[in-house]
């Protein structure tokens, strides 16, 4: 299923006259955590006040990915996942701008004129006081406030959400996931951590070993977590218990980018081409390189046993 073009605008060249007039915010919104959700509520309230659509403007790739490549922090969500999640929390539109050389070379004034004023026709901009933009590095909150006075749009600062005395952030969530603290990550996200995607054909190695897996390409150089996990797979509203591996399959040694492989417990069927959501419950072990496939199979069978034990104890 493709994203609705009235909801998802890909690139400023696709902005049309009917997109002019909005309340907008700008950011990566990686993970769509409680802090992000508070911002969306601000935007929705202002959009209702001005009687215009609410718009979330984001970049693809994310700016840190553009400048740092593989060294950028691991994503919590891919673009499609973010767009879907933003729609579910009530954003009227997502405006995704390609972060490329043309965007990088825009001055702060050109960014405001072309994207915010001419493109989106913002009535109000909800933005963090640490937001920076423009090749001349002149774009900041103060500059936006001054531009708002000139072009007659309101600029307000985003709300900050704290838990345990610290600001909720994507960095904190990544740290929780790396530590296997899924309860902590859920507190910050406001929902269990999931990875969603379409099941694709792999090399069928799992089936050859008698342990078939559903494979999801993560389409990123790094994943926010790595190892073997007890998971629940959500498929057409049903929950199926499973064991998942996130990594590069070091025993086989055929991958550079990580993949998500899930073995569904007590379930069989063809799910190729279907979208699934994988909800992570407990980390069972790190990903290891085994000397042979027999040792790999033994370890996977132990992972299955450990996952069953976890789900039985949970009831």
Q: Is residue 36 part of a domain?
A: yes
Residue 167: which residues within 8 A CB-CB, separation 6 or more? 35, 160, 161
Instruction: Give me the phi and psi of 187, to 5 degrees please.
Output: -60, -40
DSSP secondary structure letter of residue 59: E
Quick check: 12 pLDDT over 50? yes
For residue 270, what pLDDT band results from cuts at 50, 70 and 90?
confident
**Each residue's pLDDT tens digit, 49-79:** 999 999 999 999 998 989 988 788 999 999 9
**Mean pLDDT score, 180-190:** 97
**Each residue's pLDDT tens digit, 200-243:** 887 666 666 778 889 998 877 678 999 999 999 999 989 999 99
Quick check: 252 pLDDT over 50? yes
CATH number of the domain encompassing residue 209: 2.40.30.30
Q: In terms of domains, do 98 and 203 share one?
A: no
Is pTM beyond 0.95? Reply is no
Q: In terms of domains, do 242 and 147 share one?
A: no
How far is Cα 244 from Cα 214, in angstroms, rounded to an integer? 9
Q: In terms of domains, do 156 and 36 share one?
A: yes
Q: In terms of domains, do 213 and 152 share one?
A: no
How far is Cα 245 from Cα 226, in angstroms, rounded to an integer? 7
CATH number of the domain encompassing residue 154: 3.40.50.620
**Mean pLDDT score, 34-56:** 98
Q: How far is CA 18 from CA 22, 46, 117, in A?
A: 10, 19, 13
Split into its structural domains, the chain has a count of 2
The domain in which residue 209 lies consists of: 193-314
DSSP H helices, 199-269, are: 205-208
Quick check: 101 pLDDT over 80? yes
- Phi-psi region at 117: left, alpha or beta (left = phi > 0; alpha = psi -120 to 50): alpha
Q: Which of 10, 98, 19 is nearest to 54 (CA)?
A: 19
Q: Is residue 138 part of a domain?
A: yes
Q: Is residue 155 part of a domain?
A: yes
Q: Is residue 171 part of a domain?
A: no
What tokens does 57 get?
């403007």
Q: Is residue 214 part of a domain?
A: yes
């Amino acid at each position: 299923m493709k994203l609705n073009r009235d909801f998802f605008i890909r690139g400023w060249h696709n902005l049309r006259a009917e997109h002019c007039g909005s309340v907008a915010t700008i950011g990566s919104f990686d993970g769509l955590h409680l802090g992000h959700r508070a911002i969306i509520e601000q935007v929705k309230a202002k959009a209702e006040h001005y009687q215009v659509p609410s718009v979330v403007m984001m970049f693809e790739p994310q700016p840190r990915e553009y400048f740092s490549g593989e060294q950028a922090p691991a994503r919590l969500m891919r673009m499609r996942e973010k767009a879907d999640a933003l729609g579910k929390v009530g954003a009227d539109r997502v405006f995704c701008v390609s972060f490329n050389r043309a965007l990088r070379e825009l001055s702060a004034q050109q960014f405001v004129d072309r994207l915010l004023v001419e493109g989106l026709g913002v009535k109000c901009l909800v933005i963090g006081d640490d937001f920076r933009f423009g090749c001349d590095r002149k774009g900041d909150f103060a500059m936006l406030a001054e531009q708002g006075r000139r072009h007659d749009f309101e600029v307000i600062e985003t709300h900050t959400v704290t838990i345990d005395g610290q600001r909720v952030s994507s960095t904190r969530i990544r740290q929780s996931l790396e530590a296997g603290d899924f309860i902590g990550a859920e507190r910050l996200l406001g929902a269990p951590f999931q990875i969603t995607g379409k099941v694709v054909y792999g090399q069928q190695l799992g089936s050859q070993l008698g342990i078939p897996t559903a494979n999801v390409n993560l389409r990123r150089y790094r994943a926010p977590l790595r190892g073997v996990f007890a998971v629940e797979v959500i498929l057409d509203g049903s929950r199926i218990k499973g064991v998942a591996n996130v990594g590069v399959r070091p025993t086989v040694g055929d991958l550079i980018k990580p993949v998500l492989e899930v073995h569904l417990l007590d379930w069989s069927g063809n799910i190729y081409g279907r979208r699934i959501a994988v909800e992570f419950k407990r980390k069972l072990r790190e990903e290891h390189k085994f000397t042979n496939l027999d040792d790999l199979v033994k370890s996977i069978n132990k992972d299955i046993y450990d996952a069953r034990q976890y789900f039985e104890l949970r009831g």
